Amino acid sequence: MEPVLWALKTDKVKAALKEEKRLDDRALDAYRDIEVSNEVSKNAEGSARVRLGKTDVIAGVKMILGTPYPDSPGEGTISVGAELHPMAFSEYEFGPPKPDAIEVSRVVDRCIRESKTLNFKDLCIKEGEQIWICFIDLYPLNDDGNLFDAFSIAGLAALIDTKIPKIEDDKIVKGEYSGKLKLARQPLLSTFAKIGNTVVLDPTMVEQKAQDARFSVATTDDNYLCAFQKGGFGGFTGAEIDSCIDIATKASKMVRKKL
């Protein structure tokens, strides 16, 4: 879409928000409809497809054998990657990961890693020698805004779906599994767009284009905050941050029911 057309559309978003209205008639603190399904790929140890309104993403988990880092010989690890595939939006391009893709994958990574959702000691097979590396890869199929939350939901759903391959003689036995991956908690991101002086949950693409700043907060099912990420050119007041935290805590409970 041309910049000029985006400008017309974002003007509409801003005009509506002055009356606390969104173009799709959602409440300011409401998510779009969410659908979660698994079975995206049999070759994956776990996978999920998430539709968040018209935003559509997939996540897949591969459990790969590796050797531990010297400074944590008894721990496996995770790796989160996101590719902003040009299939999903006309402004994306192939090539080495750009800052946008790096940011979202690192935020989803921290949301899972630092919430201690996975016990990295469980991912150690043989201390100092063999561990699991849990690769979580994220792709958009259609981006209509808020990839942060869509990726976060899909990543968690894929982890919930993940089976651990069976091992014999230090090698993976293809197609056989020794059980499910254990998750200690369920962290989820909730992302807000600040447009003028209004803050809305789960922005669409046009709301994203209209936004001055972005704020994401990750909450867990046991009521912890586990990640923040502020982005965009504008700033937030402390009160706005607190309000985002409140809304995120409630909204993520609704999302978790879909998993």
Partner 1 sequence: MAKKDEKIDYVKNGKRVDGRKVEELRPLTIEVGVIDNADGSAYLEWGQNKVIVAVYGPRELLPKHKQDPRKAIVNFQYRMATFSVPDRKNPRPARREIEISKVCSEALQRAVFAERFPNTVIDVFVQILDSNAGSRAAGLSAASVALADAGIPMRDLVASTGVGKAGGEIILDLNKFEEDAPDAVDIPIAIMPRTEEIVLLQMDGLLTTKEWKKCLELGVKGCKQVYEVQRAALQKKYDAAGAVKGKEKKKEEKAAKKEKVK
* Long-range CB contacts for residues 233-240, cutoff 8 Å, separation at least 24: 234/194, 236/194, 236/199, 240/194, 240/199, 240/215
Retrieve residue 141's tokens. 């199929």
Burial (CB < 10 A; 0-12, 13-18, 19+), residue 224, is middle
- Does 196 participate in binding partner 1 (rule CB under 8 A)? no
Name the CA radius of gyration of the chain, rounded: 19
Residue from 9, 160, 180, 234 binding partner 1 (CB under 8 A): 234
User: Considering the complex, what minimum distance in angstroms separates the CB of residue 103 from partner 1?
Assistant: 5
Alpha-carbon distances, residue 17 vs 57, 202, 204 (angstroms) = 27, 14, 13
Q: 211 near 194, Cβ under 8 Å? A: yes
Q: 244 near 221, Cβ under 8 Å? A: no
- Closer Cβ to partner 1, 45 or 207, answer by number: 45
User: Considering the complex, what minimum distance in angstroms separates the CB of residue 111 from partner 1?
Assistant: 8
- Closer Cβ to partner 1, 26 or 113, answer by number: 113
- Does 89 participate in binding partner 1 (rule CB under 8 A)? yes
- Closer Cβ to partner 1, 89 or 256, answer by number: 89
- Does 97 participate in binding partner 1 (rule CB under 8 A)? yes
Cα 21 to Cα 200: distance, rounded to the nearest angstrom: 10
Residues that contact partner 1, how many (by CB under 8 A): 67
Binding site for partner 1 (CB under 8 A): 40-45, 47, 54, 56, 58, 60-62, 64, 71, 81, 83, 85-90, 94, 97, 99-100, 102-103, 105-106, 110-111, 113-116, 135, 137, 139, 141-144, 174, 215, 220, 223-238, 241-242, 245, 249
